[in-house]
């Protein structure tokens, strides 16, 4: 039997472990035209164990959203009924009201659904996962199931807006670092019972101010992406002992894994070295368990943290955003306010400052940013608005 051939259940056949073979034990007739069944086959045979758990979860959510939306609209989930019109309508639905949250309810306390537009890049990510599913179905489907071919091929992704970049200006960098120098004080408990005695006030049991300071200094001083930060292991840090880390000037992170399976070594500046050393010495040991390998850990007091304590990329958004919130609350000069501070703002700031200090050395930018695409290199090195405005002030 060929790897793509379907046979009736009544025929004896030897099971083949190839990913191109569909398990027919449950009966083809019942599942042939069910999108839910095909989605589960695809996940079992081509996604789980091949992609990371995080990516597998994202693909599963996106495909289940399409199945639910199709079933709600047509009253069934037949694969043969999926047309380019349906795929395009789903794309437009996500773009118009794809984000589902909860807004405060009425006087009875009942929450109401709040549907908001989904970002074009997120919509296109949904489409890419759906396209991969139908490409797989096309290869493995029995004849006649997709009479008009892959329904996703004729649906164009949404156009992406021009990327908006923001590098922090020099005064903003200074005040951010000032906040980082004092970050422990912002996490101290202020109740009366915590103010008595000669000991330093305690911090919230989930708070890890030294970790947060180390992460922001690291991103500001290296341009690492948030996913690269959470993927770091302690074993990549050279040297890894706090005293040595403070002393040497060529400390680095070895084999940082970037996009496109790239890998690079990243040197650490003084601020990042000292901040990481403080974290390793004072906070990290209390959060280590037998599975721990990650450099930066979630607090062990958090019951739902991952085995080993590794942070999620989304947690980096929370950490960086909180630093921005504290910064703006502390800064009376509105010209220095950051608004919502995002991890990529730190990356853009590093890119611009590195471009300035290296004389716009393209090779150095590629090496340190982990990006060889000219378009993105230009974006990462755009100057802050106040500097860009000064260029034309007297022209």
Active site residue 225: yes
Structure tokens at 366: 């590629």
Structure tokens at 209: 């101010």
Instruction: Give the Cα separation of 161 and 159 in Å (integer).
Output: 7
Q: Which of 211, 344, 353, 368 is catalytic?
A: 344
Q: Which of 259, 270, 360, 362 is catalytic?
A: 259
DSSP bridge pairs for 188 = 203
Q: Which residues contact 353 (CB under 8 A, 6 or more apart)?
A: 167
Strands (E), 183-238: 237-238
The continuous run of DSSP H or E covering 170 comes out as helix 170-181
Active site residue 62: no
Active site residue 371: yes
Nearest by Cα to 119 from 88, 89, 95: 95
The continuous run of DSSP H or E covering 327 comes out as helix 313-330
Nearest by Cα to 302 from 184, 205, 186: 205
Instruction: Give the Cα separation of 214 and 319 in Å (integer).
Output: 11
Active site residue 344: yes
Q: Which of 166, 208, 347, 368 is catalytic?
A: 347
Q: Which of 140, 187, 211, 225 is catalytic?
A: 225
User: Is there a contact between 226 and 313 (Cβ–Cβ < 8 Å)?
Assistant: yes
Instruction: Give the Cα separation of 313 and 386 in Å (integer).
Output: 30
DSSP bridge pairs for 78 = 34
**Which residues does the annotation mark as catalytic?**
225, 259, 344, 347, 371, 380
């Amino acid at each position: 039997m060929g790897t793509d051939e379907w046979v009736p259940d009544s025929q004896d056949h030897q099971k083949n472990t190839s990913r191109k073979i569909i398990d027919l034990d449950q009966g083809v007739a019942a599942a042939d035209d069910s999108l839910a069944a095909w989605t589960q086959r695809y996940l079992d045979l081509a996604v789980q164990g091949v992609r990371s758990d995080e990516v597998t979860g994202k693909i599963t959510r996106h495909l289940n959203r399409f199945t639910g939306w199709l079933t709600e609209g047509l009253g069934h989930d037949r694969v043969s009924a999926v047309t380019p019109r349906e795929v395009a309508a789903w794309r437009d639905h996500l773009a118009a009201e794809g984000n589902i949250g909860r807004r405060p309810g009425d006087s009875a306390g009942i929450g109401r659904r709040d549907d908001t537009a989904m970002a074009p890049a997120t919509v296109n990510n949904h489409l890419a996962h759906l396209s991969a599913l139908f490409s797989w179905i096309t290869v493995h489907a029995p004849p006649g199931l997709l009479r008009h071919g892959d329904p996703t091929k004729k649906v164009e992704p949404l156009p992406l807006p021009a990327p908006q970049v923001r590098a922090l200006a020099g005064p903003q960098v200074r005040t951010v670092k000032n906040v980082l120098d004092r970050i422990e004080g912002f996490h101290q408990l202020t109740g009366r019972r915590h103010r008595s005695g000669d000991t330093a006030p305690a911090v919230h049991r989930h708070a890890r101010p030294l970790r947060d300071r180390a992460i922001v200094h690291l991103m500001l001083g290296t341009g690492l992406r948030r996913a690269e930060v959470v993927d770091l292991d302690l074993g990549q840090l050279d040297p890894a002992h706090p005293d040595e880390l403070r002393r040497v000037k060529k400390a680095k992170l070895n084999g940082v894994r970037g996009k496109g399976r790239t890998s690079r070594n990243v040197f650490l500046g003084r601020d990042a070295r000292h901040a990481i050393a403080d974290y390793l010495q004072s906070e990290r040991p209390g959060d280590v368990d037998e599975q721990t390998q990650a450099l930066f850990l979630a607090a062990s007091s958090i019951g739902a943290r991952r085995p080993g304590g590794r942070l999620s990329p989304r947690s980096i958004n929370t950490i960086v955003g909180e630093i921005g919130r504290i910064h703006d609350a502390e800064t009376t000069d509105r010209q220095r306010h950051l608004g919502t501070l995002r991890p990529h703002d730190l990356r853009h700031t590093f890119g611009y400052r590195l471009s300035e200090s290296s004389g716009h050395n393209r090779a150095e930018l590629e090496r340190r940013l982990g990006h060889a695409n000219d378009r993105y290199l230009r974006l990462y090195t755009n100057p802050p608005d106040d500097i860009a405005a000064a260029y034309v002030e007297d022209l």
